[in-house]
Amino acid sequence: MADNITPAEPERIEIQHVLISFAGAGTRARRSQAEAAELATATLARARAGEDFDALVRELTDDSPPGIYRLSNNGVSPASGEYPRNRMVAAFGNVGFDLGVGDIGMADFDPRTSPYGWHIIKRLS
């Protein structure tokens, strides 16, 4: 196992996300921050209720569909097509690596750790 990885965290993950952003957060979104917060909470509930995650991405994301990223953990050399965890916003990687396969979670907006808005994240592998 590579250095700097807790035993509970995998070396690599694949995740898919829906980004719910707002005006002024560095995306083309036009909704207010309050509207984005409400939409993010509703989207998380829909995803956890079993709605098709791909469909939610296509319908709602302020990122580019399909919103799938392969990440390598800290201390692990990234393979082709992978992003190093420390090159993504902190909350995105933190939530992704904490999820079990098939689980869905949310990285809340935070100006330091999730500056683009809310990320509803599903761990694929």
Q: For the chain, which domains are there?
A: 12-123 (3.10.50.40)
- pLDDT higher than 50, residue 1: no
Tens-place pLDDT, residues 56-71: 999 999 999 999 999 9
- pLDDT higher than 80, residue 7: no
Tens-place pLDDT, residues 74-120: 999 999 999 999 999 999 999 999 999 999 999 999 999 999 999 99
Can you give the three-state secondary structure of the chain, one letter per residue? CCCCCCCCCCCEEEEEEEEECCCCCCCCCCCCHHHHHHHHHHHHHHHHCCCCHHHHHHHHCCCCCCCEEEEECCCCCCCCCEEEHHHCCHHHHHHHHHCCCCCEEEECCECCCECCCEEEEEECC
Tens-place pLDDT, residues 115-125: 999 999 999 99
| pLDDT value, residue 5 | 52
pTM metric for this prediction: 0.91
